[in-house]
């Protein structure tokens, strides 16, 4: 099964029903996409598939045949962190960091689609990402900062 | 020479703390990274102690063979305990290796690792260079760029994945499973009621776990109390009584009772561990808070020589207390025992993480006092709970979940409380920090808990501060006094009065707010000897309780990393808003039923308040910041709800249902 992952063509040998998350982590070694719940309810495994953010744990690989998938590892450009990654580092907007991969994928998609999103819109867009450490407001601030560079 | 730091006395060998590799000084610490940024703070302390820039150091994760035993990473004690030890180690290194001339790091590498730190010479103090600066977290670049960093990212050669099928309820026992049970691509591991699968492909073990859940049959029992009457159940006993103090106060004219439900850690990652049996050696990688206690517990449960068990810390998602990390490590050990020589990466399911991990206890309290002419005279406080620790090492028995399910069981001990010297559990912060005249403070720990309750951030202090500080506002109302003025009139410790006054000033305490909005304040000094913290909450109450803004003022002594301390206080306060307004473990008489994120919802991004954190400039001894804000935040929110609504809500969580019930009771 062929698809694009982070801009490069890949051929997967996993069964068609294998969750994309498992294929990414185990077959492709892309462990940046995290397993949080396996039920599509926490956002830790968010990936971008042809411009739509989906939970990779609930996406069987047959659904992404021929698609273009972007994971947290694919957000950087020319070896430089994505502006939202840089903003999160600058603002130290993470504590344990386990939610941050999915947050970054969601935030990068938001800034691409709605470059003028305000604080309320950023928060609303992240409502399907769970953060347990209480870093919510720092993350929103970081995303707003990244708008200028995205 | 002043007294030697305790952790130097117990770990006196230089090579336990400092080694050199690849031109970097490796600093070995026994405290572990839980998402709180401790490795960065300790790197700053070590850099100053060694007279090196942070970039010349590498902090090595805790390891039972290669690093010091510094107990568990808990109780907001890491900087307090590890700081003096690292400063002493650095002073010895500087005395022996002279940092002022070229080749210092090489000379450090050439020092005798068996140098006795308790008798070696020490150099004088050096001025702080790194301490006091907001150094960026050392671990965050990996996490933000999606590089392998967490335990579940480990992929050693020959890796097998593992899953455990937990029983469906706390008292369940396996009735039957086909002795020839098979599933594609996995091996079954069975020992009594302990069932697990291991296999090369993650997709196979996940499918096999589902099949196993369908095929295993269990005998279950109703052992849980009525969810709607947990406070009554806690008060019914049997109890162990914890007499904190009795100064024979007169009977109070005002009285109120408060309650808190069971909570769960709810970390974003399920617990995980990696284990491998190599001949007679057992290697374990874990995100436990206490690797030495875990090693002893594993060795005790399986009757092994502890020196053959090697335990290393690897980071996982945020840890807020005694979660399932230790249990997961033991699960991995049991699975790996069936496949000698192969590493097994065990991961819990989300449902198990929310129902089988140790829980934060339900609690209830009754407080009474009198107030006359603006003075509180006499104070009685009684609190009921189940125990606040089930940690491995807190009892002689191992206290590892799977032990209870083995054919030859290693039963789980009843939860207990940490000793008073460590702040206690049920009675942590049960004594009010105010001058209230004669006091009586008593705890009652129910000793037959069907729930495995244990330590979660701040332990009993979260609820006790909520109750004490809610009642302070009730007294202020009765006396017609401003809640801030009443507190200041009863605080003789100037550091306490300062954080309260500053929180009021910075929050605009006396400025008018719209009708549906209220401001409330909560204050405590964590464990009576830790950080001082006051919080003002601004809350709008409409159909729900909407916490809009928190002003947090804290005095944590000398601040090692200001931004790190702010992040911990901000995170602690925000997490406490989630606990206080939304969270409650749900159960019927047999099973815990809140097993996913829909049934155990967390605070969302839209619901998260603005948080402003102000650190008091202080030269006092550094204390931890991670557990200071929880209790004051809960109280501040409750007091703000009262000011917005005119009704006192005394039962947590302060959700719509609780508010409606309080309105009905007040009518």
Q: What is the predicted pLDDT for the residue at B327?
A: 98
Q: What is the pLDDT of residues B613-654, one digit of tens each?
A: 999 999 999 999 999 999 999 999 999 999 999 999 999 999
Residues A77-84, mean pLDDT to the nearest whole number:
92
CA-nearest residue to B349 within chain A is A37
How far is A44 from chain B, CA to nearest CA, in Å? 8
Whole-number percent of chain B with pLDDT over 90: 95
Inform me whether the C-beta atom of residue A136 falls under 8 Å from chain B C-beta atoms.
yes
- Cα-based angle B355, B356, B357 (whole degrees, multiple of 5): 100
- Chain B contact set for A72 (CB, 8 A): 145-146
Beta-carbon separation of B575 and A133 below 8 A: yes
Q: How are strands ordered across the β-sheet holding B239-246?
A: B239-246, B439-446, B375-385, B363-372, B254-260
- pLDDT confidence of B395, banded at 50, 70, 90? confident
CA-nearest residue to B610 within chain A is A137
Inform me whether the C-beta atom of residue A58 falls under 8 Å from chain B C-beta atoms.
no
Residues A3-21, mean pLDDT to the nearest whole number:
96
Beta-carbon separation of A37 and B597 below 8 A: yes
Beta-carbon separation of B269 and A36 below 8 A: yes
Q: What is the pLDDT of residues B116-171, one digit of tens each?
A: 999 999 999 889 999 999 999 999 999 999 999 999 999 999 999 999 999 999 99
Terminal CA-to-CA distance of chain B, rounded, Å? 67
Q: Phi then psi for B163, rounded to 5 degrees?
A: -135, 150
- pLDDT confidence of B1, banded at 50, 70, 90? very low
Inform me whether the C-beta atom of residue A107 falls under 8 Å from chain B C-beta atoms.
no
Q: What is the predicted pLDDT for the residue at B527?
A: 97
Beta-carbon separation of B567 and A39 below 8 A: no
Beta-carbon separation of B146 and A101 below 8 A: yes
Q: Is the pLDDT of residue B427 over 90?
A: yes
Query: Which of A32, A83, A105, A133 should be substituted to probe chain B, the one whose Cβ sees the most B Cβ atoms within 10 Å?
Result: A133
Alpha carbon separation from B399 to A26, B295, B358, B389, B404 (Å, rounded): 33, 12, 11, 10, 9
> Is the sign of the CA dihedral B125, B129, B130, B131 positive or negative?
positive
Inform me whether the C-beta atom of residue A94 falls under 8 Å from chain B C-beta atoms.
yes
- Cα-based angle B120, B85, B60 (whole degrees, multiple of 5): 105
Residue in A81, A104, A130 closest to B597 by CB: A130
Inform me whether the C-beta atom of residue A73 falls under 8 Å from chain B C-beta atoms.
yes
ipTM of the complex: 0.98
For each of the domains in chain B, give its residue range(s) and CATH number, in order of start.
6-135 (3.30.365.10), 151-220+271-348 (3.30.365.10), 360-388+424-666 (3.30.365.10)
- pLDDT confidence of B2, banded at 50, 70, 90? low
Q: What is the pLDDT of residues B529-564, one digit of tens each?
A: 999 999 999 999 988 899 999 999 999 999 999 999
Query: What whole-number distance in Å separates Cα of residue B522 and Cα of residue B540?
Result: 17
Task: Residue window 114-133, chain A: list those with CB within 8 Å of chain B.
Answer: 120, 122-124, 126-127, 129-133
Burial grade of A77 (CB within 10 A; 0-12, 13-18, 19 or more): exposed
Query: Which of A72, A108, A134 should be substituted to probe chain B, the one whose Cβ sees the most B Cβ atoms within 10 Å?
Result: A134
- Chain B contact set for A137 (CB, 8 A): 570, 574, 608-611
Q: What is the predicted pLDDT for the residue at B3?
A: 87
Q: What is the predicted pLDDT for the residue at B397?
A: 85
Is the separation of the CB atoms in B569 and B579 below 8 Å?
no
Query: Which of A36, A80, A95 should be substituted to probe chain B, the one whose Cβ sees the most B Cβ atoms within 10 Å?
Result: A95
- Cα-based angle B378, B464, B582 (whole degrees, multiple of 5): 140
For each of the domains in chain A, give its residue range(s) and CATH number, in order of start.
2-73 (3.10.20.30), 83-146 (1.10.150.120)
Residues A84-107, mean pLDDT to the nearest whole number:
98
- pLDDT confidence of B396, banded at 50, 70, 90? confident
Q: What is the predicted pLDDT for the residue at A149?
A: 80
Residues B450-456, mean pLDDT to the nearest whole number:
97
Q: How many Å is the Cα radius of gyration of chain A?
A: 15
């Amino acid at each position: 099964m062929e698809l694009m992952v982070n801009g490069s063509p890949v051929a997967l040998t996993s069964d068609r029903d294998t969750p994309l998350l498992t294929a990414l982590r185990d077959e492709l070694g892309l462990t940046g996409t995290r397993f949080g719940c396996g039920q599509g309810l926490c956002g830790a495994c968010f990936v971008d598939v042809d411009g739509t953010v989906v939970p990779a744990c609930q996406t069987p690989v047959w659904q992404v045949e021929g698609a273009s998938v972007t994971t947290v590892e694919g957000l950087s450009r020319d070896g430089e962190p994505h502006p939202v990654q840089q903003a999160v580092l600058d603002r130290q907007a993470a504590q344990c960091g386990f939610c941050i991969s999915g947050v970054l994928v969601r935030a990068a998609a938001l800034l691409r689609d709605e470059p003028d999103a305000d604080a309320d819109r950023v928060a609303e867009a992240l409502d399907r990402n769970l953060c347990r450490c209480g870093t919510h407001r720092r993350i929103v601030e970081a995303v707003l900062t990244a708008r200028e560079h995205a | 020479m002043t007294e030697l730091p305790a952790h130097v006395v117990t770990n006196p060998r230089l090579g336990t703390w400092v080694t050199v590799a690849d031109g970097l000084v490796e600093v070995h610490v026994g405290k572990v990274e839980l998402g709180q940024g401790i490795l960065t703070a300790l790197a700053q302390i070590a850099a100053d102690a060694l007279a090196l820039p942070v970039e010349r150091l590498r902090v090595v994760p805790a390891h039972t063979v290669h690093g010091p035993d510094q107990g568990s990473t808990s109780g907001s004690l890491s900087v307090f305990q590890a700081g003096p030890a690292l400063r002493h180690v650095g002073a010895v290194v500087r005395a022996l290796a002279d940092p002022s001339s070229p080749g210092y790091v090489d000379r450090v590498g050439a020092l005798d690792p068996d140098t006795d730190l308790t008798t070696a010479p020490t150099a004088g103090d050096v001025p702080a260079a790194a301490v006091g600066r907001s150094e960026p977290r050392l671990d965050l670049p990996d996490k933000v760029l999606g590089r392998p960093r967490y335990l579940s990212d480990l992929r050693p050669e020959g890796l097998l994945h593992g899953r455990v099928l937990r029983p469906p309820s706390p008292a369940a026992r396996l009735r039957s499973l086909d002795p020839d049970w098979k599933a594609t691509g996995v091996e079954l591991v069975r020992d009594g009621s302990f069932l697990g699968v291991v296999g090369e492909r993650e997709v196979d073990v996940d499918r096999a776990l589902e099949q196993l859940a369908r095929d295993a049959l269990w005998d279950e029992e109703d052992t849980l109390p009525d969810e709607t009457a947990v406070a009554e159940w806690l008060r019914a006993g049997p109890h162990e009584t914890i007499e904190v103090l009795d100064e024979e106060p007169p009977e109070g004219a005002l009285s109120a009772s408060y309650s808190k439900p069971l909570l769960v850690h709810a970390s974003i990652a399920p617990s995980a561990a990696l284990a491998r049996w190599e001949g007679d050696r057992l290697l374990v990688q874990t995100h436990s808070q206490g690797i030495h206690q875990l090693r002893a517990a594993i060795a005790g449960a399986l009757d092994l020589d502890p020196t053959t068990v090697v335990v290393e810390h690897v980071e996982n998602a945020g840890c807020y207390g005694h979660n399932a990390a230790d249990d997961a490590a033991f699960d991995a050990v049991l699975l790996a025992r069936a496949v000698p020589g192969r590493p097994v990466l065990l991961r819990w399911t989300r449902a198990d993480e929310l129902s089988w991990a140790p829980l934060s206890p339900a609690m209830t309290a009754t407080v009474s006092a009198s107030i006359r002419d603006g003075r509180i005279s006499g104070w009685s406080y009684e609190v009921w709970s189940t125990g606040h620790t089930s940690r491995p090492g807190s009892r002689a028995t191992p206290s590892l979940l799977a032990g209870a399910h083995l054919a030859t069981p290693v039963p789980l001990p009843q939860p207990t409380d940490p000793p008073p010297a460590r702040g206690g559990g049920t009675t942590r912060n049960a004594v009010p920090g105010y001058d209230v005249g004669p006091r009586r403070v008593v705890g009652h720990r129910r000793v037959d808990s069907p729930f495995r309750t244990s330590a979660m951030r701040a332990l009993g202090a979260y609820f006790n501060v909520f109750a004490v500080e809610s009642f302070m506002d009730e007294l202020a109302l009765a006396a017609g006094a401003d809640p801030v003025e009443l507190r200041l009139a009863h605080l003789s410790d100037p550091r306490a009065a300062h954080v309260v006054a500053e929180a009021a000033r910075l929050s605009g305490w006396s400025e008018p707010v719209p009708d549906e909005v209220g401001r409330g304040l909560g204050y405590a000094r964590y464990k009576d000897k830790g950080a001082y913290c006051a919080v003002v909450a601004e809350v709008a109450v409409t159909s729900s309780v909407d916490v809009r803004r928190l002003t947090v003022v804290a005095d944590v002594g000398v601040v090692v990393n200001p931004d790190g301390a702010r992040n911990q206080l901000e995170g602690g306060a925000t997490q406490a808003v989630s606990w206080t307004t939304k969270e409650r473990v749900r159960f019927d008489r047999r099973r815990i039923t809140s097993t996913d994120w829909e049934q155990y919802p967390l605070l969302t991004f839209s619901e998260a308040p603005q948080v402003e954190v102000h650190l008091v400039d202080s030269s006092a001894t550094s204390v931890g910041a991670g557990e200071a804000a929880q209790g004051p935040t809960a109280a501040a929110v409750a007091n703000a709800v009262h000011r917005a609504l005119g009704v006192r809500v005394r039962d947590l969580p302060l959700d719509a249902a609780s508010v409606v019930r309080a309105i009905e009771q007040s009518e």
